[in-house]
Structure 1
Amino acid sequence: MLRRRLTGVSGLLAIVLLLAGCGEGFYKYARDGIAASKGAIEAAQAEYMDECVADPSLQPCVTINKAIDAQNLAVDALNLYCSGPQWDLPGGECDPPSSKETRAHLESRVRAALNAMSGIIAEVEGLIR
């Protein structure tokens, strides 16, 4: 049952990537995609913890670490996109750049990070028994 639920994560990430170009909802779709990846990563970490502590060079451990790195990259890209003055306030909303050119550039970076994360999360889902 866990595997069936996690397989939906990569499907959700694919939908997120399609919807991420939808203007104002961009931040929410990106945020939701990042949050969805967390469940797959945590499930794999729990399943492979003993093996990875003993030998972090095992393939499942390398894949899990790549997924963590990809998720961190997506978070960093989204933080850059949202980093206007409102973003730093407690409970601050995403405050993307007002410049169309800068906004488009940062959106493309977030999309690229989400795309990379989606592929690696699909690999992580394959590790879950």
Structure 2
Amino acid sequence: MKNSNDSFVKGRLKSLKYAFKGAWLLITTEDSIKVQIAFGIIASILGYYFSISTTEWMLQFLAIGLVLVAEALNTAIEKVADFVHPDFHVKIGFIKDIAAGAPTFAAIVSLIIAGLIYIPKINLLF
């Protein structure tokens, strides 16, 4: 809750504290985020190995970020849905399935970006 006595800067610092707390909670409690971070690390190692360009690094980091954001939003939607209706409900299941589609789209886009970056480099090895 917003405290009317907080200055603008103090309010932003509190927001930043909550944002880092949320990121930490995701990293330490959600397996899907852990898996996506592992893929991001692997992609980064590949980037160093293949000496990808600055533009390729930007695209790769945008793709990694897109997947992590989609996973985080999916997790938040699932947690709210479970809180609102803890028992199985067809409509809640539908909402959760749709939410799960977001990281799926993000992952597909990231795989396409990875293919565009790395397939030509792998072909040069052979």
TM-score, normalisation: structure 1:
0.50
Offset at residue 81 of structure 1 (A) = 1.1
What amino acid is the match of 2:46?
Answer: A
Inter-partner Cα distance in structure 2 for 1:118 and 1:30: 16
2:67 is aligned with 1:74: yes
Higher-Rg structure is 2
Offset at residue 111 of structure 1 (A) = 0.4
2:115 is aligned with 1:97: no
Unaligned runs of 5+ in 1: 1-26, 50-59, 85-93
Question: What is the percentage of aligned positions where both structures have the same residue?
Answer: 12
Unaligned runs of 5+ in 2: 1-29, 83-91
**1:116 equivalent in structure 2:** 109
Inter-partner Cα distance in structure 1 for 2:105 and 2:56: 19
2:32 is aligned with 1:32: no
In the comparison of the two structures, how many residue pairs are matched?
A: 84
**2:57 equivalent in structure 1:** 64
Q: Does the Cα contact within 8 Å between 1:41 and 1:121 map onto a contact in 2? A: no
Inter-partner Cα distance in structure 2 for 1:73 and 1:102: 20
Inter-partner Cα distance in structure 1 for 2:112 and 2:34: 17
Structure with bigger RCO (C-alpha 8 Å, 6+ apart):
1
Offset at residue 113 of structure 1 (A) = 0.3
The verdict on how the C-alpha distance between 1:96 and 1:108 changes in structure 2, with shifts beyond 3 A counting, is farther
Moved over 6 A (4+): none
Offset at residue 101 of structure 1 (A) = 3.0
